[in-house]
Amino acid sequence: MGRGFCALLLGSAASLFLLAGIVANAQTTYTEQGVNGSWNTTTIWSPVGPPDGVDNTIASINPNGGRTITLDGNHTIGNISFTINNNRSYTINSGTPSSSTLTLQVSSGTPSVWVGAGNTSGNMYVNAPLAGTQGFSKSGVGFFVLGGVDTITGTINITGTGTGASSGGWLVVNGSLPVNAPVQVNNYGGLAGYGTIYDAVTLNSGGNIDPGNAAYNSYSVGTLTAGSLTWNGGGSMTYELATAGASDSVILDGSLTKGTAGTYSFSFTQNSGFSTSQTYTLMTFTSDSGFSDSDFSGAPTGMQFDLTGTSLLLEPVPEPATLALLGLGGVAAAWQIRRRKV
């Protein structure tokens, strides 16, 4: 029992300590078994849950219809990877206490949210407040719908998968995201909702913003509020228009900024009540930087864009007679000015 034996004991202890650390940090995927239940109900998860732990992932089987998971306390996970086909859904609700949070965070890196399968993906609703300090990345073709007052901070990246329009991945904000949670809408990514994003939104090439509620195969009119918007070339916006007071809109508490060069296109769905004789307020803001009326494309026939400095309007193109009157008015005004000078 000399120094060699002591060194062996110390080495073994160190190995056990490292092994314990590896086990403690092991990543486990817990699959929800397609039943309704409380988060702490061990049998709804495989392997047996609950799946608490910043290195863990929650996943799903493909249920028939909707399924609900109810939080019964504060819970922390790493990632979400849910397969939800054919307009089916999973919902995570707050339980008791009502302040329960699903803290989405990992030990290092950025958490990921993947919702979808093929081109017939469903919806994942998180009505419980979402917390964390590292943001997250949303991908997959499904709809990830946030309905709570979320406190998660860090950049939120929305990115699609594949190479077609049907590969778009959607983040729907029907609740709120706080300051220090800026949103990046990237290639084949989509941002929708009728909630509030208190920080900046950046719309990048290939990304899309569709204000109003959205779910698989279903879109409805609404107003999305954000801190500011930087619109880079190649990004697009989709609006449902009906009557002037019941159509999609975006409210910015800050500025609208023209980013990189390219196209800035709109796509309009003309719902019942739409008329080319009405004026629609597409967006309001405190100021705009870099844009002009001619930058925007996609106006319905007989309509045009009008950038006023604090709003972007879609309005009727003036009739030729109206333009002629305006022209005559200008001539008359010029004549009056000339006459006074004489």
Give the Cα separation of 232 and 297 in Å (integer).
14
pLDDT in tens, 129-170: 999 999 999 988 889 999 999 999 999 999 976 554 445 689
Residue range 162-211, pLDDT digits in tens:
554 445 689 999 999 999 999 999 998 999 999 999 999 999 999 999 99
Q: Which of residues 41 and 72 earns the better pLDDT score?
A: 41
At 12-33, the pLDDT tens digits run: 444 433 333 434 457 899 999 9
**For 1-5, 226-230, 322-326, which range has the lowest pLDDT when averaged over its residues?**
1-5
CB-based contacts of 18: which residues, under 8 Å, 6+ apart?
none
pLDDT band of 119, cuts 50, 70, 90: low
pLDDT at residue number 105:
87
Q: Please report the pLDDT score of residue 103 as a whole number.
A: 92
Q: Which of 182, 256, 169 is nearest to 214 (CA)?
A: 169
Q: What does pTM read for this prediction?
A: 0.86
What number of other Cβ atoms are within 10 A of residue 70's Cβ? 18
Mean pLDDT of 5-18: 39
Tokens of 264: 């800035």
Counted residue by residue, the chain has a size of 342
Could you identify the residue written with the tokens 């045009």? 304
Strand, helix or coil at 192? strand
The rounded distance, in Å, linking the Cα atoms of 48 and 30 is 8
Q: Which helix (H) or strand (E) holds 332?
A: helix 320-341
Distances (CA, A) of 235 to 166, 192, 262, 318: 16, 14, 9, 29
- Model pLDDT for residues 61-72, shown as the tens digit of each residue: 877 678 999 998
- Check residue 253 and give its pLDDT: 98
Average pLDDT, stretch 258-285? Answer: 97
pLDDT at 232: 98
pLDDT at 141: 81
The kind and range of the H/E element at 17 are helix 3-24
Looking only at the bridges linking them, the beta strands covering 156-158 and 136-139 are: parallel
Q: Compute the mean pLDDT over every residue in the chain, rounded to the nearest whole number.
A: 84
Q: Does position 80 have pLDDT exceeding 70, yes or no?
A: yes
With H, G, I as helix, E, B as strand and everything else as coil, classify residue 198.
strand
Quote the CA–CA distance of 233 and 246 in Å, as a whole number: 28
